[in-house]
Amino acid sequence: MWSQMIAFSTPPLGKQQKVLSVVFLVVLPYFKSKLHSIYNREREARLQESLWIHDDGRLDNLDSFFHQGEASQTQVEASTTEASNMMRVKKKIRAIIGSFYPWIHAGNEGLSFAYQLLYLLDATGFYTPGLHALGIHVCRATGQELMDSSSRISKIRSRELERLRGPPWLKAMQRAMVSCVYTALDYAQTGLIAAVFFFKMMEWWYQSAEERMSAPTVYPTPPPPPAPKVAEDGIALPSDRTLCPLCSQKRVNPSVLAVSGFVFCYPCIFKYVSQCKRCPITLLPAGVDQIRRLFHDL
């Protein structure tokens, strides 16, 4: 994009400038987004850790479930010390990124902002640090330069057409195909915009027609889905329906796990799902965003 916007009277981009342009436009943003996702994961992990520190006595029962799992985990870890070493190094790198990324991000954003402000105030000729590093000035192409470039392109194309070899009929066919490609290239941008506009207009047309057509019909309430199957290895349901299956005490902050429909205390099910990633009763895979708080007194 930069090369298109540069005035044609100036010399074209050198090879090094092209490579660095790719680095600034593709490679650096890629690493930045990677760092950002690592930082986000690290922050989430820290948040979860801080949640577990504030445990209360109600979860003792629940802890026994996890300790069973942890015991088997330690055995596995002992047999693969190397893997755990790697994990530790990885964890350390992630922790370092987690603590340094905000500074990198703030520095980068601040520098970009400073460049844009200085560019607005006419204090610098570059509006991003990347352009400054490459030494590229972006400016508008004049009409003369645009005409020069189009005449250069047509010259190149006519030379290409002259280079066609073979019997006359093959030449004619090749010529037709090449000119088809050229026409498609010339009108690709306009055609794409027109296609998007056409698509959006059709969408709007059919949507509004559909809305006009559909009369407000009242359907009968569908029957509730069948009760989920209790897994054999899962936790047994308590006989008293008001108890939480995890802590076997009266439910506090009743919350339903959307994948199965069973109701638990919010702290119990949150802790269980975030560590085991499944429903404790049906063993269906579940995430913490599938926990819904239930309200009955509003």
The residues binding Zn ion (CB under 5 A) are 244, 246-247, 265, 268
**Cα–Cα distance, 89 to 77 (Å, whole number):** 15
Pick 39 or 262: Cβ nearer Zn ion: 262
Q: How far is CA 5 from the centre of its chain?
A: 30
Q: Which is nearer to Zn ion, 21 or 255 (CB)?
A: 255
Distance between CA atoms of 108 and 255, rounded to whole angstroms? 43
Using alpha carbons, list the distances in angstroms from residue 268 to 59, 232, 260: 7, 21, 16
Closest CB 91 distance from Zn ion, rounded Å = 31
The minimum distance between CB 53 and Zn ion, in angstroms, equals 19
With respect to Zn ion, which residue has the nearer C-beta, 247 or 273? 247
Quick one: 101 or 271, whose CB is closer to Zn ion? 271
The residue (of 235 and 246) whose beta carbon lies closer to Zn ion is: 246
- Give φ, ψ of 6 to 5 degrees: -75, 140
Q: Are 127 and 138 in contact (CB under 8 A)?
A: yes
Can you tell me the distance from the alpha carbon of 16 to that of 22, in angstroms, rounded to the nearest whole number? 10
Rounded Cα distance between 72 and 87, Å, is: 18
* Shortest distance (Å) from residue 266 CB to Zn ion: 8
Min dist CB 44 to Zn ion, Å, is 24
Nearest distance in Å: CB 281, Zn ion: 13
d(CA 167, CA 250): 91
Shortest spacing between CB 264 and Zn ion, in angstroms: 5
Decide whether 134 or 235 has the Cβ nearer to Zn ion.
235
Taking phi over 0 as left and psi of -120 to 50 as alpha, with beta for the rest, 277 belongs to left
Task: Return the bridge partners of 265, or none.
Answer: 254
Residue nearer to Zn ion on the CB measure, 56 or 211: 56
- 292: tokens are 């819904």
DSSP state of 6: S
3-state helix, strand, coil in the chain (%, to 5): 65, 5, 30
Query: What is the nearest approach in angstroms of Zn ion to the Cβ of residue 206?
Result: 50
Strand partners, 285: 278
Q: With contact defined as beta carbons under 8 Å apart, do 265 and 253 qualify?
A: yes
